[in-house]
Chain A
Amino acid sequence: MITFLGNPLTVLTLLPITGALLLMLVHWMADDEKREMLANPIRYVNLGIALLMLLMATLIGLEETFGLAWGEYLYQNCEVGAVSTGSCTLISSIGVSWHVGIDALSFPMVWLTTLLIPITMVVEWEAKKDGPDRAYFHSLILMMEGALIGVFVSLDLFVFYVFWELTLIPMFFLILLWGGSDRRYAAQKFFIYTFTASVFMLAGILVMYFNNDASWVGNITGKSFDFILMETSTNFIASEGLRSVVFLLMLIGFATKMPSVPVHTWLPDAHVEAPTAGSMLLAGVMLKMGAYGFLRLGVTLFPDQVIQFQTLLLVLGMVSLVYGAVVCLGQINLKRMVAYSSVSHMGLIFLGVATLQPLGIAGAIFMMFAHGIISPLLFAVCGSFKHHYHTLEIDSMRGLAHSSPWMSAHMMVGWMGSLGLPLMAGFVAEVAILIAFYMTFGWWVVLPALTLIITAAYYLWSMQRTIFEGGGDVQLPPTMRDEEPRDITWHENTGMLILGALAVIYGIYPDFFGMFEMMSNWASLLVENVIYPPEVNP
């Protein structure tokens, strides 16, 4: 049913990009009077395409069951045999093919992306900017969607890398043109920092490429970028030492994107200066690209290296977790605090993978998903706070519950979800990771568990100060001047309600829409087939 437009994954990837480019072109071609007139319909068309994408992704989820067998990718546009005969090649002379497929690891990410894009569009429905550029905001977000889905579904590493970098361009413009006061610095830093890290990943990809023999295809190099070929190849990169080099090169790229502590410094700037929709997408999906890439390319292709560098992953994860939490305690800027809490939570993903247990890996994947629902909610709250109170300082506001009850309610839901309250999505992931951690490392589990207390501390502290304190009186920040405090608009409310509801639903019933089941299936298949393959551990 969903294949009537051709391959649904190709459509999911290319339709948003071409649609966004066309809409921008239409707006640009129009003369000045028509531009004003067109701005609103273009916004609706953007939202319409985004909703269509959500519908398609949901239909894929309803129609298929993921995670039944290892190495099974659904909706592939070409089989491995077709790759070798070159029927779906894109740049045949160097072995690049258009090869997409989806499995239990990528489907949650794709669905999350398609879900978040319309929500971010709705939350920032009024892109605050005068002048003719206004109409491009939602188109840029839509373009972002295509690039993000491209990252998650492409099974060709060249195309993967192209989409990986393509996400930077819309985000660069979102931050540069719609961001906060220091947006120029933040946009450049974001672009340069993550680009630099990705080129190390590219170096790793190239070494992989040259060890991925496809000489029967007959192109110039006799190699192929195809991921499936690498995965199924029996002697992919024979030298253990070279595998370690590649793994570390890739780790630089993924750890920066996630971000893990020594390479996280782009994130607070980018998050704080980005517009609300931008930081929602950054935290919700773009950070997951790093974790996804790590699981897809790092763990799947280099399981021995994951075992070898287990300590490194543990240290990276632990340091990110603790450092992020401690830095949060000292933040006076609400958005910066939320940004550092993302660093802290991403540390848990490394911990979950480092356990090498099915439960830990499933927990890490669920952490990606849960964080992808909760952190956009946090950033939406921060954005609306900035929008209505013109500040982000925690100390300047007291008694928010009096003037903006809806905003306070959402803030509470988000904060509670993020600190890992039981019956919220974040809790499921944290518990899964901690149990697996205990199973592997014993009582060392006290370390991450204690850090979660710090998490609770900074969240509760900031919440208590902004929402409740003030002795029954509202204390408005000085930036309000004489404005009457308002509650959030219905756009913002709609988006936040959906996110909040999902955070609760996934906390009570993690298997909603089959999510947790497919993740744990994927994780156990990974552990059974790749990390401890049957010959080694019968």
Chain B
Amino acid sequence: MNLGTLFSGPDMATILMPEWILLLGIVAMILVPNLGNATFRLPIPGTSIRIPYLIGGKRFSVTGDPRVPAAIAAFTLFASFITALLSQILDSGVGMAEACVTMNGLVQDCTSDGTHILRVDAFSRLMEMIFTGALLLALIANWDRLPATPHHRIPLKPEEDEIKETRRLFRLLNNRRQVDFALLVLMVALGMCTVALSTNLFILFVGLELASMASYVLIAFNKETQAGPEAGVKYFIVGSVASAIGLYGISMLYIWNGDLAIYGSGGLAAKWAAEGPNGLATIGLGMMLVAFGFKVSAVPFHFAAPDAYSGASGPVAGVLATASKAMGFVALMRVLIGITLADDGSDWTILIGAIAAITMTWGNIAALGSRNPKRMLAYSSVAHAGYILAGIAAIGALGPGDGSQLIATAIMFHLAVLVTFKLGAFLVIALLECEGRGYELEHYHGLARRDPLIAISMLIFMLALAGVPPLAGFLSKLMMVSGIISSTVGDVSGSSLSEAMGSLSWVFWLAILIFINSAISLFYYLRICVVMFYDEPDRNLRLSRAPMLRIAIMLCTMGAVVFGFGVLADVLASAAADAATALFS
């Protein structure tokens, strides 16, 4: 028996295994921490028969352990990640099985006719891995730092008395917020995976909102601080307005087509291909761009992002900058590429190109002026959104073909490796947050003296973000730019320099703009490197121990290095290429 069939079998239970695991995890998360010795006395007079019903009462020592929620969530995410990974690895031998789920819960071959709402292919599997991987790292990072109040912190150095130490740690961790956090993370994961799978705008919107709502709460999770609730509420209000506009756009598409499925004979793509751009549909699509533009924090919908990032805790901000943004791009690619690319000349190309140019430039210039590293990373994340949007614009200019697939590969690769270095950088900030700092550049002074390993990790993250070889950020940026360039050099003609310059497509200048922007971005990335290695630290304490957080940082560092150069980069690039093929099929 081929093991691959275990994960790609013909029924819902197996092909949606990662999602089932997440759902199971959520249920377990609600039940397990509440298990106790609650009993119910049978109302029979004269007897005292007590029937245990387990929910409530005094909790058992296992279920009362404050680390259980995080453990359950981590196990769930890990299992989900591994399932998605195995289904890809084992499946590659028997050919990529594409399976679609219809509205009434049947699993079909995707080529067969029918209204499909979910689609399992290389693309959605890779995205599931990105989402669950990023959330898993964030959860691990939160493992030993979730203070009951901002005044309780992880002890900086071990105390003599181990019992006292343990008791202190338990007092710190023993609060019900553990469950809330882990539960919200799992819900975000489920929502994101739904987005990755959906081929129906309604399902896509439901997944988007599930993830968004949970992430609004996660941002405001540090409710005792001043910045936390403000950030959460701001992000919530702006986000729900954007979602409402997006929903309005979806309704317009529904009026236009009468069906919200993207693919298939009655789908939006077929209708778009048959009738061409229609006023109603174009407006609807434009409105959806607002919703997704907010998710990827593209200019001019980016204003809430820096506040949200700086108000949220480090790992949560990292998730916002990686997984949440990847979700926005999945939605964007499904809609833009899925619906409109069937008709070659895409109207939105120039618009997306202009947004991309403004986004990357604005993000970089704003990042130059921010002294708070978290805001700086938020703006750099805006700039990265611009790079990816430039890739999408080039896909639009190019139409379906090999070049487009290369750009889509690059986007997928970029979203995957972004998890390593962007999230990693936020985790280093999280480590500084353990001592209540990290929100000013001065707090990074002399980090190399205080903790060389963390400083070198941060250096690697910064250089990777700037796109310095041989790190992962370089390879992803190179693939992106090479895709864009490939789309333009093919039809350059002319024997003189001026003729050749004239015949270059405008998309080529987007590639040059990416180069110029990555040069600008070096200023603020290098600033952090310089203060870490050059300036004197203002305190000589070691950084917090926080072992799990350090493990997460090290995983990110290794990822940023190995995905940049060598065999693993190749593996990831091929996976991204498969995903791109699946996206275009």
Contact = CB atoms under 8 A, between A and B. Distances in A.
Interface stretch (B189-197, B327-335, B430-438, B568-576): B568-576
A241 B468 contact: no
Given A191-B526, A195-B522, A199-B519, A91 B500 contact: no
Contacts of A248: 497
Nearest to A209: B482
Chain B's interface size range is 35 or more
Contacts of A242: 489, 492, 494, 500
Contact of B570 (A93, A176, A239): A93
B478 interface: yes
A438 interface: no
Contact of A239 (B494, B518, B530): B494
A221 B515 contact: no
B499 interface: yes
A59 interface: no
Given A199-B518, A206-B478, A206-B485, A93 B573 contact: yes
Contacts of A161: 469
A176 B515 contact: no
B404 to A, nearest CB: 12
B566 A90 contact: yes
A91 B469 contact: no
A406 B53 CA distance: 94
A220 interface: yes
A267 to B, nearest CB: 18
Contacts of A91: 475, 565-566, 569-570, 573
B400 interface: no
Contacts of B501: 241, 245
Contacts of A177: 533-534
Contacts of A209: 482
A445 interface: no
A202 B511 CA distance: 11
B566 to A, nearest CB: 7
Interface string A206-220: 110111000000001
Contact of A203 (B463, B474, B512): B512
A188 B526 contact: yes
Contacts of A331: none
A211 B511 CA distance: 17
A220 B500 contact: no
Interface string A186-212: 011001100110011011001101110
Nearest to B456: A28
A176 B577 contact: no
A124 B486 CA distance: 47
Interface string A291-309: 0000000000000000000
A221 B486 contact: yes
B242 to A, nearest CB: 34
Interface stretch (A162-170, A387-395, A421-429): A162-170
B570 A206 contact: no
Interface string A62-94: 000000000000000000000000000011111
Interface string A27-58: 01000000000000000000000000000000
A244 B409 CA distance: 30
A255 to B, nearest CB: 16
Nearest to A208: B489
Interface in B467-498: 468-470, 474-475, 478-479, 481-482, 485-486, 489-490, 492-498
Contacts of B511: 203
A314 to B, nearest CB: 18
B166 interface: no
Contacts of B496: 240-241, 244
A163 to B, nearest CB: 8
Classify the interface of chain B: helix, strand, loop or mixed.
Answer: helix
A192 B470 contact: no
A206 B495 contact: no
Contact of B492 (A92, A158, A192, A241): A241
Interface residues of A, number: 42
B39 interface: no
B523 interface: yes
B356 interface: no
B258 interface: no
A200 B515 contact: yes
A204 to B, nearest CB: 10
A524 B516 CA distance: 39
Given A91-B566, A196-B519, A220 B503 contact: no
Nearest to A221: B406
Given A93-B573, A220-B406, A206 B533 contact: no
B442 to A, nearest CB: 15
A184 interface: yes
A28 B451 CA distance: 11
A202 B515 contact: yes
A173 interface: yes
Nearest to B581: A220
Contacts of B481: 202-203, 206
B573 A240 contact: no
Interface string A416-444: 00000000000000000000000000000
A54 B8 CA distance: 57
Nearest to A98: B566
B497 A165 contact: no
Contact of B497 (A93, A210, A222, A245): A245
Given A28-B452, A244-B500, A203 B515 contact: yes
B371 to A, nearest CB: 17
Nearest to B467: A199
Contacts of A92: 570
Contact of B409 (A188, A199, A202, A220): A220
A188 B479 CA distance: 27
A241 B470 contact: no
A209 B481 CA distance: 12
Interface in A226-254: 239-242, 244-245, 248
B495 A240 contact: yes
A184 B445 CA distance: 13
Given A191-B522, A220-B409, A241 B533 contact: no
A236 B475 CA distance: 24
Nearest to B500: A241
A241 B515 contact: no
A451 B570 CA distance: 53
Interface in B515-550: 515-516, 518-519, 522-523, 526-527, 530, 533-534
A187 B527 CA distance: 11
B530 A176 contact: yes
Contacts of A192: 519, 522-523, 526
A207 B530 contact: no
Contacts of B478: 158, 202, 206
A165 B468 contact: yes
B577 to A, nearest CB: 5
A196 B501 CA distance: 21
In order of increasing CB-CB distance, the 6 nearest A-B pairs are A241-B500, A196-B519, A241-B494, A244-B497, A93-B573, A162-B469
Interface of B: 402, 405-406, 409, 452-453, 463, 468-470, 474-475, 478-479, 481-482, 485-486, 489-490, 492-501, 503-504, 511-512, 515-516, 518-519, 522-523, 526-527, 530, 533-534, 565-566, 569-570, 573-574, 577
Given A91-B573, A162-B474, A240-B494, 13 more contacts: A90-B565, A90-B566, A91-B569, A91-B570, A93-B574, A162-B565, A165-B469, A184-B530, A192-B522, A195-B519, A196-B516, A210-B486, A244-B496
21 contacts: A28-B452, A91-B475, A92-B570, A166-B469, A166-B470, A169-B463, A176-B530, A177-B533, A184-B530, A188-B527, A188-B530, A192-B523, A195-B522, A200-B515, A203-B481, A203-B512, A206-B478, A207-B485, A221-B482, A241-B498, A244-B500
Interface of A: 28, 90-94, 158, 161-162, 165-166, 168-169, 173, 176-177, 184, 187-188, 191-192, 195-196, 199-200, 202-203, 206-207, 209-211, 220-222, 239-242, 244-245, 248
